[in-house]
Amino acid sequence: MRRTVFNEDHEAFRATLRAFIEAEVVPVYEEWYAAGIVPRDFYYKLGELGVFGIEVPEEYGGAGEESFKFQAVITEEAARAGVSFGGSSVHVALCLPYLKAYATEEQKKRWLPGVASGETMFAIAMTEPGTGSDLAGMKTTAKLSEDGTHYVLNGAKTFITGGVHADRVIVCARTAPPKEDDRRHGISLLVVDTRSEGYAVGRKLDKMGLKVSDTAELSFSDVKVPVEDLLGEEHKGFSYLGQNLPQERLGIAVGGYAQAKAAVRFAQQYVADRTVFGKPVAAFQNTKFELAACKAEVDAAEAVVDRALEAHDAGELTAAEAASAKLFCTEVAHRVIDRCLQLHGGYGYMNEYPIARLYADNRVNRIYGGTSEVMKMIIAKDMGL
Ligand SMILES: Cc1cc2nc3c(=O)[nH]c(=O)nc-3n(C[C@H](O)[C@H](O)[C@H](O)COP(=O)(O)OP(=O)(O)OC[C@H]3O[C@@H](n4cnc5c(N)ncnc54)[C@H](O)[C@@H]3O)c2cc1C
């Protein structure tokens, strides 16, 4: 089916990005993969290309676009080429919306130009060793100093994407104890300078997939955070998180769909070349049926993603709809990538083949940004169950 979700600007951006990936990423991707990290310089290149500034308002050095569809194009093109840009999607697709929505004018002037250029890389730290799905249970604290000039931050975070390269991290911390009738009260967002004394980056975590993404542990020991770096109102952080999670989940849904589509493409190429029992694997009826079934699932995911993208750009995507899109598209991707890997036989298990990396990379889509089980809870609640 013809996609109507992208306009000429989106498609022009896609063409530029595709050429950039071919020229600047594909030739060096094996080095990144072996090193387990995207080189810091690459983020300056994304800044120069305008990738980071698309949704940054013009007065702060960006292009001032409002459409989230540009982020979808980035995700689709990276998946198509079988590459990843590391923590850069967290930088723009996750962190930037918080800054645009809740930063003061003075804060925007300080931070947004660096977001657009790639000079100030952002990450967001919600998850803690003891709590992920149940964010209201977080233990990291930020106590206001007696003179009211700064917060004193103590605690630890884990699984933080972009945690090694980050220059600023939006840290979710308790500035007040929970209320008896509201566990979510008392959480605030602090934009912490990673060069602060007492701020430490722990292990770069060894993951089964997303090898070029720098996922790290962070710890804070009496880190002084100026009150000027509080994002939004004190104690209201949880509601801010709730407002941005639908976009994060839509982004993951797009990722699942795009990876499933790429898997079908990789498998179709592979089975045409591989000969077994004297004929191409593509000639077996089972292969055709498997790929046809996968294509049908990808088409369905595409329809869901496109409707959700339209709804989101129109400001209408609800939390339950975003959860539904994430749940569906990531479960489709899980099934499709597994079946496409199977068609590769043993080579599908080798990391030098993109399908093996896709298999490992995709697994986390059903976990981060809220697990599939949490998505079901949100949908069920919306159904009145
Ligand atoms: C590669 C990677 C990158 C990440 N990047 C970031 C990041 O940049 N920033 C950040 O803050 N976090 C990040 N995360 C954390 C991620 O969002 C959490 O891992 C996720 O929310 C799940 O939390 P958890 O790992 O603590 O699992 P848990 O909450 O301990 O869940 C364990 C199991 O219990 C299930 N469960 C939980 N609650 C319920 C319930 N009520 N009913 C039924 N089942 C339930 C879950 O579905 C899961 O199966 C990242 C994680 C990974 C793996």
Q: Is 209's C-beta closer than 6 angstroms to any atom of ligand 1?
A: no
**pLDDT of res. 374:** 97
Atom of ligand 1 nearest to the CA of 373: 47
Q: Per the residue annotation, which of 55, 76, 217, 248 is the catalytic one? A: 248
Residues sharing a CB contact under 8 Å with residue 46, sequence separation 6 or more, in sequence order? 52, 85, 88, 118
Atom of ligand 1 nearest to the CA of 161: 8
**pLDDT of res. 1:** 84
- Mean pLDDT, residues 173-199 taken together: 96
9 Cα to the center of ligand 1, angstroms: 36
Quick: pLDDT tens for 263-305: 999 999 999 999 999 999 999 999 999 999 999 999 999 999 9
**pLDDT of res. 108:** 98
**pLDDT of res. 243:** 87
Q: Where are the domains of the chain?
A: 8-117, 122-236, 244-382
Q: Is 375's C-beta closer than 6 angstroms to any atom of ligand 1?
A: no
- Whole-prediction pTM: 0.95
Quick: pLDDT tens for 21-32: 999 999 999 999
**3-state class of 384 per DSSP?**
coil
Q: Is 169's C-beta closer than 6 angstroms to any atom of ligand 1?
A: no
**Euclidean distance between CA atoms 118 and 28, whole angstroms:** 20
Phi, psi of 204, rounded to the nearest 5 degrees = -85, 115
CATH class of 244-382: mainly alpha
- Mean pLDDT, residues 197-217 taken together: 96
pLDDT range class, residue 242, cuts 50, 70, 90: confident
**Euclidean distance between CA atoms 254 and 196, whole angstroms:** 35
248 is catalytic: yes
What is the phi-psi region of residue 371: left when phi exceeds 0, alpha when psi lies from -120 to 50, beta otherwise?
A: beta
- The CATH architecture annotation of domain 122-236 reads Beta Barrel (2.40)
- The CATH architecture annotation of domain 8-117 reads Orthogonal Bundle (1.10)
**Euclidean distance between CA atoms 121 and 95, whole angstroms:** 10
Burial class of residue 224 in the structure, from the number of CB atoms within 10 Å of its CB (0-12 exposed, 13-18 middle, 19+ buried): middle
- Mean pLDDT, residues 332-351 taken together: 98
Quick: pLDDT tens for 100-156: 999 999 999 999 999 999 999 999 999 999 999 999 999 999 999 999 999 999 999
Quick: pLDDT tens for 313-338: 999 999 999 999 999 999 999 999 99
